Chains A and B, each alone.
Chain A
Amino acid sequence: MIKAGQIDKGTALLIKGQPFVCIEREFVNPGKGSAFVRLKLKSPSTGQVLAETMKSQDNAEDITVEDKDLQYLYNDGENFYFQNTETFDQIDVPMKSFTDYEYFMKEGETYRATFWEDQVLDIIIPSKIVFTVAEAEEAVKGDTVQGATKYVTTETGLRVRVPIFIKQGEKIRVNTETKEYLERVNS
């Protein structure tokens, strides 16, 4: 058990027997009222987001989680499939709980995942990832204005705005939080 006031972003909790991960936390002291925390909790199995308001002194059931390395294999539109790099067990994770994660999942790459018992609660996406440009628009002829940009698509399907000199087959580093181009990577 932990006090609700100690819950932080990323804390895993058990609510009515189901695991949830805190994605937002805000302290609220209403005028003439006790101290509360306003929480947004996400279910890793269904993607459902729960709004919960607890008094700072309320008890919450926290759960012990464990981080493991998983190698990404593929997805079939419904699940991501991973392999545990130690046990070689195959693990499937419902895609609906991890919206847009497919754009950052590269086949064969290793990702750190947070587990509670056999269930994946969170997948940690590195802050920067190197992608290969799968498709690139042709730069418009004569468009030599400095700072001119165009769109490319990575091997994972992510559309990124890049400088016009980036060509198909080249490697680029992307900020995964903002989905912005950072630099060209020389292979």
Chain B
Amino acid sequence: MYNFRFQRLKSEMLMNIREYFIGKEYLEVSTPTLSPYLIPEPTIKTFRTEFINPFMEKSSLFMIPSPEIFMKRLLAAGSGSIFQISQCFRNSEQLGEIHNPEFTMLEYYTVGADEKDSIGITHEMIEKAIPSSLCEEWMHKEPLVITMHEAMLRSCGVDMDKAEDTEYLRKEAERLSLQYDENESWDDTFNRIFITYAEPWLPKNREVYLTDYPDKIRCLAKRYSDKPCRRRWEMYINGIEIANCYDEETDKNETEAYFREEQEILEKERESTGDEISPSDPEFSFLEIPQSSGGAMGLDRLLAAALGLDTIEPLLLFPLSDMLRSVKANLSNQR
């Protein structure tokens, strides 16, 4: 049933996080969870609902998968460094273990910083955030920072310097006995290798910052000028992905191209699935985003790691999996 001890620890952790950021003069913001438009992200399935009003036409609204769309508007408007703890929503993911379709996310943007600075900020924040009564092995170890190049090479011998070439990557997948689809994207083949070999290989029992993701995986993180990588990292504890971070793209042409191309992918998917897709924010590409680094962290996952759990379910007072199970049981009883 309800675990009030865990709830108390979560409350303490949220208070510590607020104290940390407010102490560093970040502004805490509250942005909407319902939005008529989103950042186009074909790999994320969203929840759609409808706004009804007797005096207006109906309109579709989407539950935000992250508050990025609003927080970047604030950055562009001169907010300075900001943070937010909010509920976010992702559809069509696993139910249970380390997933719940609604989850608590911390999103934080540091103006004037890059993703390397954010490693220090994130580590320091975690040290302050974890309730002092909790003590897991990973908290006493120095964080490990490792590039994707090194992780792929050491875990399965794939050389990321050559991996931009799809042919090379597919040959490597074959060498590693992985099946792939002839029509699949470069990203998918890369992810098959990464998920099967590199991710499980990452050291456990410490914060691991996996940096320098392949350029080919499109996102709103800046590119390096001297290597085919983006200024992006993902942080793992005990093999579970806890946070990610970008050196945020500030070039409006790059942002505009990203929006256009990702929206096209979404449109294509809509043709095959018939699902309604979210329109993209018409003004986003014109925002003057200052040099900044943005991180996002799953707070239930962080607390689970601090408790030595490999699931977030005991931390949720009302896991959706339980609620759906009881609805199903009631229905079958009525029959």
Contact = CB atoms under 8 A, between A and B. Distances in A.
A52 B178 CA distance: 7
A27 B100 CA distance: 12
Contacts of A34: 43, 187-188, 191
Interface string A100-134: 00000000000000000000000000000000000
A60 to B, nearest CB: 10
A53 B192 CA distance: 6
B188 A55 contact: yes
A38 B195 contact: yes
A55 B177 CA distance: 16
Interface string A39-60: 0000000000011111100100
A53 B241 contact: no
B234 A31 contact: yes
Nearest to A36: B195
A36 B191 contact: yes
A85 interface: no
A33 interface: yes
What interface size band does chain A fall in? Answer: 10 to 19
A164 B52 CA distance: 73
A28 interface: yes
Nearest to A33: B191
Contact of B199 (A28, A50, A55): A28
B93 A29 contact: yes
A36 B217 contact: no
A35 interface: yes
B219 interface: yes
B31 interface: no
A27 B94 contact: yes
B94 A30 contact: no
A147 to B, nearest CB: 27
B69 to A, nearest CB: 16
21 contacts: A26-B97, A27-B93, A27-B94, A27-B97, A28-B199, A30-B191, A30-B195, A30-B241, A31-B244, A32-B187, A32-B218, A33-B188, A33-B191, A35-B92, A35-B93, A38-B196, A51-B196, A52-B178, A53-B192, A53-B195, A54-B179
Interface of B: 41, 43, 92-94, 97, 99, 177-179, 181, 184, 187-188, 191-192, 194-196, 199-200, 217-219, 234, 241, 244
